[in-house]
């Protein structure tokens, strides 16, 4: 994933963009960058590796190195960004978020062309944002270029551009799978993945871009370069899994949606007559927690934090050279609260169950710490299709998905024709699937949120949501 | 505050001490250090400033620089540690936690003596651990030296020493105000402020040291150099405020204690007939949260996280040079969830109310975000005496305490003779105090946990707890 | 300027390339980079800013980050290098040395083309090596691409490429203005600007590339992809000014050439009957020194070092923020030896006189330190044409050249028609020029080496040397 | 060795002390430090390891961290300095140069005392300056303390102290083995090992301290706290070996002394009828060079630089981990100029011959590069006694000295009774020694400067010079 943030203002704005970008740190852990435009200096840029130290540590000296009345920043889980580019579109800084699934084909196309070449990274890899820029450069203006690039790529790409005159161009991906919000202050405008980022900086909500919409922004105002499309497919997982609790997309707050979602999970259990003794309801941190709070609030069962992630310094991966097994380190973060586990019947809510590997380890860890029983609830339906738009689901292909694997075990390829039935917990196939996964992962019981449940908790029209992972609907 | 961690083992243990020390990162933000003993190299030491980057970032190269079969580490909110010392006690590494209130007098005494001198820090300040070492050096063996130093200082000092033969000496402060736990594995022993630190590294609880107890530890076993004293005064705030959720001291887990404490607060409200409409119960992060969970669980009211601390990178203080007002940055961390605040009646539980400044700001922030009413509950009694043993309460003197200030406003110096009455919410003075503070800080209502309530939630005999802040009992 | 070094070997060679590149540190002060090829990893690359710390300090951790059986390195006074490139020529690492005078036009040409774009640097500048790569990519193989790029650019470009199979391609600039030497060991081959770099690493001279020659090198041997051209114009300043004393180009050692050159300067003075009293002969450090040694040896006058550059740490520019005037710092490096200046008649030899600014300051500094008289000798003829092939002369245009400026002062534009005469010290115009410059710069006397003298000291056929700066011959 | 520099001024002086300290970089390669006094902040201090990067690189951010109207700095080949100390003498910063040979005994004495202890370094080592401070603290004022410490130590100690009121105390070692110079400007005073350091900063020579003299300096003037002693023993090697060319001690410039010394060596050869064919005279860099220039100037033989130290980045030691043999790296620095060696008869002058190991390697390196013959001249007499005052001679004991070893080989212990004879090249024993060393180290011939020769070249009364290394006279 990743996220971007930018400001165009009548006053120096680098400190604001510094903090606004930092507020996207939950969206990526590998690279971060800032670009600024100052009339006297032109475009400037700084990128740092943030794998071993957080954004703020790495960029603390940026105020000696750069300045600007317009600036953009980016937190990235993949390639270094923003790039400075010089093309027939002019000089500009650019960052993109999303995923390009057909990059090798697109690169090959570019290289076939006379003069085609790329600056490469270790191993010959091509920076995705560079590829996007190369595609844009096929056309002679930004709007055409962005549209062309978005059409060429299979996947999703939202773009934020800082031009060599200090203006910003923001373009939301064609089907609006990811959000772009715009805030307004007395001095200018902010563009952001997360709206709370600019709110904390004193900007008020102006509006969200529509799917495929392209705008150019200066301190004087917003000019629409391309109106939004009529179709929208915003990713439902923004709410159920990777959005930040304080985030609000399409007017729907993440934390509040999760409470509603957990409440409806509890209602479903009630309707199903679930009556096992439960000492504590808990969430698998971090995203499972608010779903669990909703469940506990609605069910009247006690909420508790039976294990805790050690946060003060564990936000980064680290490996003391050759001295420790990698496995052991992965487990260092979760710390049990024995009194809340030992001899207890526990019900946990997780945001989703993809491959099941991590969840199985977590459940074993609970049993090792003396849990009497561990019931599991998934805050979304079974994941039956690997995401091809955002790659968010940490699963490279359908075959990794535990729901699919269990279905194949239950009745072979034939089962794949009954996916809808399997998804539905009220059918026999649905019950079989839940039972088989529960057995495999050592859950005392397993239930999934229904597709209707999660859509209702979000509250948007179903046609505006991408629910491909669950029902395969493109 | 601060915390230390050490291991003496038959095998290389630096990676374990690295992780064990890192698990104390919640206890300090200024300096961290590691010292190791290797038979071939002797004692080695490394200290880093951790104000701008976390422990793990700063120490990631330590494995190229040091090694050892015994090692100690320290996270410190004050001076650089561990120190390497050479005295007539031999060569050793040492770290201390606690506070020395009479350091200026002790330094003057040392300097009066022939040959007395100290390595100083900026501004001539003397490192507390160096002062402790200088005091120890007045005697000819470690036990005498530690006892002498502990007697001389006003305050509290727990000590961890790594000797030049790889053995550890651990000495708990005289009245056991702070914990020292010992863990055991096949290869050796671990000494730790936090027991979960060694548990995660595969060590099992061996035992906690008693107050004033001194032990020498080698991989072969533990030798008691000084038996524990009969009096104990462990700090009650370890549970209610600064302990980590997963910590367990004297057999009592922090998270579980807070649930019990929050439950009893709820019972108290029920008994008092508190019946205001409350949409959500929440905790003032981070320590208030589990008290609030307990309150919500017991009261049947809905728990919610109405605002969130942005954690991915905000664990450190940072100030872009001259570009931002310090005030503004302080407020960047708390992010509201508007849907859970706007138009809502909220009840918040905080761990304690010291000066009230921060809490007042938090409540104003909630009202600015549209809260209809904000009720406040303190998870402990009114703080009427500034801590003189650990300085934990972030209050340098009695006059900063809001409860005292309000009492003085209510009836002048005379009021100080009725502190016990003021502490008790069932008396008229007690009710007046609550009402006056609530008015001052804009709370819709205010209640404090009673002394009996908090002691009962901890579950230890009252005589073993230091409750000086609440009742002035030494 | 800048320099490159590369090895292709049957064994791990990164340490060798590290040292070999470091031996080019005298050729650049801004950026340095290493790229390596390892069959398992592919191409890797690392670039550092070396303005504040030397190459070895900045690259000391490269052995943890990269490895390879082939590698190239570059010291650069301009843009970051080597670049990793992916184009229809394949994946490769590339560095170039030389200068591109028509870059803006070439960039514009590239951008006119469909899809043309560049990764830019601060202010929109384009990396020269990237531009070279973009030009190469117009063609479908390396030889055609290199030839095409070299033809397109006005200036000079030598190239070193590390291909994705570990082989090297080295291409000397078309007229051989800069050298490329190849060394051979048991394990493979080295390619270098400086031959002493590989000699110190145990490689023996294999041969120098001819002008425009292109070769592909593997550990198995050298394959000529393009034979050398018949015309050669190697820069004469390699010997008289910027070559390292230990360097040997075209079989001619720099230090030895300078001795011969200084000797012939002394002979010229003798023939001219120069008989002023001279206490000491000295060189303007660093390049003037060996010319002065030759002069002293031949003239029988005493050689002395009347001022010294403080070298231990002054190899880098540095500016304490706002606290010191830039001018003052520039003068910190030269330290006088008063005893060798006070009351003395001094004769100094400098490598060349370009704008005269620095030399004037040096001479004033000598007078301030009590020199009785300062005679000056230039180790080369008057510089009358700004270099357009390498930009080495630190002079952006003809109008900066002091010789031209003085000629214009002496007789206006008309004087430019008598440049040859002015260059010759035996003509009246020649004598006038020397007298006028000496007056302007406060020299007691001034003489220039003759064109014949410097060519003879080098010892190559005049037609193989570029002497454009002196006689305008292309 | 090492050197210090300080200023006390009416204006901010940190930048001046930064540059003044940097001018002592030739005296040490391990640690450097700065301390400053500002009335508002008090004493501040910063120390860096300079083994991998030069002083200026490491301290470039010091202007953000410190400021002061008085400051001191230190370049050290041994322990971190300056130290901040708090003792009954008050708060102060201190650095020392010299050597303490009986430190273990002095440490033991301190530790025997009640309360005696030291902050230790890795392996339990004690910082020499800390030891000096502990000794000073035995007394109740600085003068007594410095005198007492200087008396207790066997060796040499010069001291520079920055007091907590901004005044400086400078104390030269008792016999004035090392220099301390004082400079004066309009704003204050500078104290320095090297006088050129403050001259370049606009200070004029005020005076040198006499042996054992102690002064206190404020911007208002110099107060003599202790007059100089009558005996002086300044180290003769300051001129012949480790002084910087631009340095002047006791009014005698280093470079000029070396020319005189080389000239007298040439005269001696002439008197001895030395008539071998010599193509070039050269110096073993760096200190041998000016001796060789003097020799060449006087003898009329040609001077040349037959090999060169590669300086741009080789001022520091460096070792790529496990990849290269340490031996090989040591040899990377010297680069031959083949044309000046191949087939040539060479005469080299070195500053001195201690163990002979390095010189033997250098000569072999010359023969490997084709030298026909290598004659050697030592710029000082045979070293027969290991230095016990400054340890400068890089020889821990008498038995390492090649002259002694050869004498023992020639006639056993008995030879040690004829050291004076051996030192004298005109005796048979003297000739035997030269012949035997020449054979051992593969010199074509070997001569030493005579004691009278070197003393005369310095020009001070023999009784003021320490010549212990050569004649054993204390």
Contact at CB, C56 and D335, closer than 8 angstroms: no
- Residue-level length of chain B: 474
Residue of C nearest to A129 (CA): C119
Please state, in angstroms and rounded to a whole number, the distance separating the CA atoms of residues A70 and A164.
10
Secondary structure (DSSP) of A327-378: HHHHTSSEEE-GGGTTT-EEEEEES--SS-HHHHHHHHHHHHTT-SEEEEEE
Nearest in space to A89 (alpha carbons), one of A167, A15, A17, A34: A167
Tell me the C-alpha to C-alpha distance, in Å, between residue B141 and each of B149, B345, D63, D114, D124: 12, 62, 45, 12, 18
- The C-alpha of D313 sits at a distance from chain C's nearest C-alpha, in angstroms, of 6
Residues forming beta bridges with residue A31, ordered by sequence position: A49, A76
Which chains does chain B touch, 3 or more C-beta pairs < 8 A?
A: A, D
Residue of A nearest to C44 (CA): A122
Please state, in angstroms and rounded to a whole number, the distance separating the CA atoms of residues C146 and A287.
55
Considering only CB atoms, A259 lies closest to which of B64, B304, B324, namely: B304
Contacts 24+ apart (CB under 8 A), D361-368: D361/D331, D362/D284, D362/D307, D362/D334, D363/D441, D363/D442, D363/D443, D364/D442, D365/D307, D365/D331, D365/D334, D365/D336, D366/D306, D366/D307, D366/D336, D366/D341, D367/D442
- Which residues on A lie below 8 Å from C148 (Cβ)? none
Q: Which two tokens stand for residue A193?
A: 């993945």
Does the pLDDT value for residue B299 go beyond 90? yes
Residue of A nearest to B263 (CA): A302
pLDDT by residue for chain A (474 residues), tens only, comes to: 799 999 999 999 999 999 999 999 999 889 999 999 999 999 999 999 998 888 988 998 898 889 999 999 999 988 999 999 999 899 999 999 999 999 999 999 888 877 777 888 877 889 999 999 999 999 989 999 999 999 999 999 999 999 999 999 999 999 999 999 999 999 999 999 999 999 999 999 999 999 999 999 999 999 999 999 999 999 999 999 989 999 999 999 999 999 999 999 999 999 999 999 999 999 998 899 999 999 999 999 999 999 998 876 655 555 555 556 666 777 788 899 999 999 999 999 999 999 998 899 999 999 999 999 999 999 999 999 999 898 765 656 888 899 999 999 999 999 999 999 999 999 999 999 999 999 999 999 999 999 999 999 999 999 999 999 999 998
For chain A, report the end-to-end CA distance as a whole number of angstroms: 20
pLDDT at position A123, please? 77
Which strands make up the sheet holding B221-226, listed edge to edge? B221-226, B214-218, B168-171, B155-163, B90-100, B83-87, D117-119
Q: The tokens 């410039």 sit on which residue? A: D253
Does the pLDDT value for residue B405 go beyond 60? yes
pLDDT more than 70, % of chain B: 96
* 3-class secondary structure per residue, C203-251: CEEEEECCCCCEEEEECCEEEEEECCCCCCCEECHHHHHHCCCCCEECC
Tell me the C-alpha to C-alpha distance, in Å, between residue B139 and each of B22, B135, D138: 33, 8, 19
Considering only CB atoms, A332 lies closest to which of B19, B57, B323, namely: B19
pLDDT at position D323, please? 54
Considering only CB atoms, D253 lies closest to which of C253, C311, C339, namely: C339
Tell me the per-residue pLDDT of C357-400, one tens digit each, with 9 for 90 and over: 889 999 999 999 999 999 999 999 999 999 989 876 566 688 88
Tell me the per-residue pLDDT of D288-318, one tens digit each, with 9 for 90 and over: 999 999 999 999 999 999 999 887 766 555 5
Please state, in angstroms and rounded to a whole number, the distance separating the CA atoms of residues C209 and A277.
85
Calculate ∠ Cα A387-A389-A393, nearest 5°: 35
Structural contact between residues D457 and D228, judged by C-beta atoms closer than 8 angstroms: no
- Which residues on A lie below 8 Å from B20 (Cβ)? none
Q: Is C155 left (phi over 0), alpha (psi -120 to 50) or beta?
A: left
pLDDT at position A463, please? 95
Structural contact between residues B302 and B345, judged by C-beta atoms closer than 8 angstroms: no
Residue of D nearest to B118 (CA): D86
Considering only CB atoms, B297 lies closest to which of A64, A248, A303, namely: A303
Please state, in angstroms and rounded to a whole number, the distance separating the CA atoms of residues C280 and D52.
38
pLDDT more than 90, % of chain A: 81
Nearest in space to A347 (alpha carbons), one of A425, A440, A446, A434: A446
Q: How many CB atoms lie within 10 A of CB A413?
A: 8
- Which residues on D lie below 8 Å from B126 (Cβ)? 86
pLDDT at position B262, please? 98
pLDDT at position D337, please? 96
Please state, in angstroms and rounded to a whole number, the distance separating the CA atoms of residues C38 and C93.
13
Structural contact between residues C132 and C160, judged by C-beta atoms closer than 8 angstroms: no
Strands (E), D126-261: 155-163, 168-171, 181-184, 188-192, 204-208, 214-218, 221-226, 234-235, 248-249, 252-253
Contact at CB, B255 and A335, closer than 8 angstroms: no
- The C-alpha of B457 sits at a distance from chain A's nearest C-alpha, in angstroms, of 14
pLDDT at position B115, please? 72
Q: Which two tokens stand for residue C461?
A: 């056929």
Contact at CB, B56 and A339, closer than 8 angstroms: no
For chain B, report the end-to-end CA distance as a whole number of angstroms: 20
- The C-alpha of C124 sits at a distance from chain D's nearest C-alpha, in angstroms, of 29
The whole-model pTM stands at 0.91
The answer to which of A68-82, C103-117, C158-172, C375-389 has the lowest mean pLDDT is: C103-117
Torsion of CA B7, B13, B16, B18, to 10 degrees: 90
Contact at CB, A255 and B339, closer than 8 angstroms: yes
Which chains does chain C touch, 3 or more C-beta pairs < 8 A?
A: A, D
Pairing of strands B2-9, B70-76: antiparallel
* Inter-chain CB pairs, C–D, below 8 Å: 158
Considering only CB atoms, C335 lies closest to which of D54, D196, D318, namely: D196
Q: Which two tokens stand for residue A52?
A: 């071993």
pLDDT at position B317, please? 55
Residue of B nearest to A322 (CA): B63
Considering only CB atoms, B15 lies closest to which of A54, A56, A323, namely: A323
Considering only CB atoms, D122 lies closest to which of B44, B88, B133, namely: B44
Does the pLDDT value for residue C279 go beyond 70? yes
pLDDT at position C318, please? 57
- Which residues on B lie below 8 Å from D85 (Cβ)? 117-120
Please state, in angstroms and rounded to a whole number, the distance separating the CA atoms of residues A208 and A205.
8
- Residue-level length of chain C: 474
Structural contact between residues A394 and A359, judged by C-beta atoms closer than 8 angstroms: no
- The C-alpha of B65 sits at a distance from chain D's nearest C-alpha, in angstroms, of 11
Torsion of CA D143, D146, D147, D153, to 10 degrees: 180
Which site among C119, C134, C319 would you substitute to test the A interface, given the most A Cβ atoms closer than 10 Å to its Cβ? C119
Tell me: ipTM over 0.90.
Answer: yes
Nearest in space to C232 (alpha carbons), one of C174, C151, C146: C174
Strands (E), A15-89: 31-38, 42-49, 70-76, 83-87
Which site among A67, A86, A128 would you substitute to test the C interface, given the most C Cβ atoms closer than 10 Å to its Cβ? A86
Secondary structure (DSSP) of B371-391: -SEEEEEESSPPP-S--SSS-
Residues sharing a CB contact under 8 Å with residue C235, sequence separation 6 or more, in sequence order: C177, C178, C389, C390, C392, C465, C466
For chain D, report the end-to-end CA distance as a whole number of angstroms: 20
Secondary structure (DSSP) of D95-122: EEEEEETTHHHHHHHHHHSTT-EEEB-G
Could you give the count of Cα atoms lying within 13 Å of B215 in the half-sphere of its Cβ? 22
Strand, helix or coil for residue C448:
strand
pLDDT at position B203, please? 96
Structural contact between residues C291 and C303, judged by C-beta atoms closer than 8 angstroms: no
Residues forming beta bridges with residue A181, ordered by sequence position: A192, A208
pLDDT by residue for chain D (474 residues), tens only, comes to: 799 999 999 999 999 999 999 999 999 889 999 999 999 999 999 999 998 888 988 998 898 889 999 999 999 988 899 999 999 899 999 999 999 999 999 999 888 877 777 888 877 889 999 999 999 999 999 999 999 999 999 999 999 999 999 999 999 999 999 999 999 999 999 999 999 999 999 999 999 999 999 999 999 999 999 999 999 999 999 999 989 999 999 999 999 999 999 999 999 999 999 999 999 999 998 899 999 999 999 999 999 999 998 877 665 555 555 556 666 777 788 899 999 999 999 999 999 999 998 899 999 999 999 999 999 999 999 999 999 898 765 666 888 899 999 999 999 999 999 999 999 999 999 999 999 999 999 999 999 999 999 999 999 999 999 999 999 998
Nearest in space to C242 (alpha carbons), one of C147, C348, C403, C351: C351
Contact at CB, A253 and B339, closer than 8 angstroms: yes
Does the pLDDT value for residue C314 go beyond 80? no
pLDDT at position B264, please? 97
pLDDT at position D146, please? 98
pLDDT at position D474, please? 85
pLDDT at position A217, please? 98
Structural contact between residues D301 and D336, judged by C-beta atoms closer than 8 angstroms: no
Please state, in angstroms and rounded to a whole number, the distance separating the CA atoms of residues A45 and A86.
13
- The C-alpha of A37 sits at a distance from chain C's nearest C-alpha, in angstroms, of 9
Considering only CB atoms, D91 lies closest to which of B116, B120, B134, namely: B120
Residues forming beta bridges with residue C291, ordered by sequence position: none
- Which residues on C lie below 8 Å from A107 (Cβ)? 86
Please state, in angstroms and rounded to a whole number, the distance separating the CA atoms of residues D31 and B16.
31
Please state, in angstroms and rounded to a whole number, the distance separating the CA atoms of residues C233 and C231.
7
Considering only CB atoms, C304 lies closest to which of D64, D293, D314, namely: D293
* 3-class secondary structure per residue, C162-196: EECCCCEEEECCCCCCCCCEEEECCCEEEEECCHH
Does the pLDDT value for residue B315 go beyond 60? no
* Inter-chain CB pairs, A–C, below 8 Å: 116
Residues of B at the D interface, defined by Cβ within 8 angstroms = 41-45, 83-89, 91, 107, 110-124, 126, 130, 133-134, 136-138, 164
């Amino acid at each position: 994933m990743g996220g971007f943030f930018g400001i165009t203002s009548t006053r120096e704005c680098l400190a604001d963009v510094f903090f606004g970008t930092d507020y996207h740190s939950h969206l990526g852990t590998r690279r971060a960058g800032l670009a600024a435009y100052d009339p006297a200096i032109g475009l400037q840029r700084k990128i740092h590796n943030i794998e071993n130290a957080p954004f703020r540590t790495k960029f603390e000296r940026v105020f000696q190195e750069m300045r600007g009345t317009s600036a953009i920043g980016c937190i990235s889980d993949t390639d270094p960004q923003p790039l400075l580019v010089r093309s027939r579109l002019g000089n500009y800084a650019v960052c993109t978020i999303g995923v390009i699934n057909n990059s090798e084909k697109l690169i090959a196309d570019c290289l076939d062309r006379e003069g085609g070449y790329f600056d490469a990274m270790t191993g010959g890899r091509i920076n995705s944002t560079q590829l996007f820029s190369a595609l844009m450069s096929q056309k002679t203006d930004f709007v055409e270029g962005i549209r062309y690039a978005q059409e060429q790529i299979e996947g999703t790409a939202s773009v934020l551009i800082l031009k060599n005159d200090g203006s910003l161009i923001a373009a939301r991906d064609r089907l609006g799978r990811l959000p772009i919000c715009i805030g307004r202050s007395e001095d200018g405008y902010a563009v952001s993945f997360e709206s709370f980022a600019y709110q904390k900086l004193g900007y008020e909500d102006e509006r969200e871009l529509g799917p495929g919409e392209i705008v150019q922004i200066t301190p004087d105002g917003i000019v629409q370069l391309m109106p939004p499309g009529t179709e929208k497919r915003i990713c439902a997982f923004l709410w159920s899994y990777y959005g930040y609790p304080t985030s609000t997309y399409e007017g729907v707050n993440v934390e509040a949606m999760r409470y509603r979602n957990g409440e409806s999970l509890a209602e479903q259990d009630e309707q199903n007559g679930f009556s096992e003794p439960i000492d504590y309801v808990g969430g698998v941190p971090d995203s499972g927690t608010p779903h669990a709070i909703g469940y506990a609030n609605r069910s009247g069962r006690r909420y508790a934090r039976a294990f805790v992630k050690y946060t003060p310094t564990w936000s980064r991966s680290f490996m003391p050279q050759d001295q420790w097994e990698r496995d052991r380190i992965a487990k260092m973060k979760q710390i049990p609260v024995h009194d809340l586990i030992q001899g207890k019947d526990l019900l946990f809510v997780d945001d989703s169950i993809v491959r099941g590997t991590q969840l199985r380890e977590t459940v074993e860890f609970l049993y090792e710490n003396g849990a009497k029983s561990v019931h599991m609830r998934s805050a979304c339906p079974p994941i039956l299709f690997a995401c091809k738009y955002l790659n968010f689901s940490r699963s490279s292909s359908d075959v990794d998905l535990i729901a699919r694997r269990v279905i194949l075990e239950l009745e072979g390829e034939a089962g794949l024709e009954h996916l809808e039935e399997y998804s539905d917990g009220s059918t026999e196939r649905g019950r079989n699937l839940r039972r088989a996964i529960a057995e495999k992962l050592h859950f005392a019981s397993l239930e999934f949120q229904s597709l209707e449940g999660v859509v209702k908790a979000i509250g948007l029209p179903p046609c505006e949501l991408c629910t491909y992972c669950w029902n395969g609907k493109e």
